[in-house]
Amino acid sequence: MDSCTHSASASSSPFDCIIFDLDDTLYSSKTGIGQALKRNIDDFLVEKFGFPESQAPALRAELFKTYGSSLVGLRSLGYDVDADDYHSVVHGRLPYDLIKPDAKLRNLLQTIKQRKIIFTNSDRIHAMKALDRLGIKDCFEQIICFETMNPNLSKSTMPVVLKPSLEAMKIAIDVAGVDPRSTLFLDDNVKNVAAGKAVGLRTVLIGRAIKSKEADYALETITNLVQVIPEIWFSEEDDQRIGHPKNEMDSILSATTVSA
């Protein structure tokens, strides 16, 4: 974090872009959406491929563990899965009203002046719905999602590309046009964080108090961002008024505190 290594720019923060995962990162896994998603995947396995209902949860867990997602796993194992079909069941049936507007998160995001990008394995419709429900859709300049990583998928027999594959990470860095060394990547999945580290990103593990091996930071929730990574908000003004950085942080902290 030596300031001498920073490039001369408008900001002396070491980060010029923040890349956010969406699900379980920008809203809590406790909303019930994650549980509903798992049930929907189980239903998909039963309805489309006739797997016994009793075996679907174990199969889903195994696919996730081995391939990172059920869709990638099914395709890799040679099942003919149409991605739109999959998303229409797995995401299309989600109870989106469980995701509530988050004014505190919105205020926090608005204090971050760097480029802000969403990078999710979910399809675009899901990403838009979730961001809309949270009330933060307009906070991001770009959404990198399933369709970005898998263009023309329906016309191809190519394997699905998603996080945590290195190919997915490289696509995101390329599409976003960022220097990974000055880009902060936030994700709740340990494997995704490891993949981010492998391509040179600065990494933040969300939902844990303790860092994984490849995480530069760990946050229990996104709202701890100011306390754990204050350097996101460092500016040249801070360098000139070196005696007052606490006041700067106080004003950001108060901006992210919402009265009921």
**Per rule CB under 5 A, is residue 21 in the interface with Mg ion?**
yes
**Per rule CB under 5 A, is residue 23 in the interface with Mg ion?**
yes
29 - beta bridge partners?
Answer: none
Residues 123-162, one symbol each (x = binds Mg ion by CB under 5 A, - = not), give ----------------------------------------
Residues 196-235, one symbol each (x = binds Mg ion by CB under 5 A, - = not), give ----------------------------------------
| Of 17-25, 151-159, 210-218, 230-238: span binding Mg ion (CB under 5 A) | 17-25
- CB burial of residue 80 (10 Å; 0-12, 13-18, 19+): exposed
Choosing from 16, 188, 232, 252, the residue that interacts with Mg ion (CB under 5 A) is 188
Which token pair is 230?
């204050």
Specify the amino acid at residue 43.
Answer: D
* Alpha-carbon dihedral 236, 237, 243, 246, rounded to 10 degrees: -100
Note whether 147 and 172 are within 8 A (CB).
no
* Binding-residue total with Mg ion (CB under 5 A): 5
Note whether 34 and 188 are within 8 A (CB).
no
**Per rule CB under 5 A, is residue 24 in the interface with Mg ion?**
yes
Residues that bind Mg ion (CB under 5 A): 21, 23-25, 188
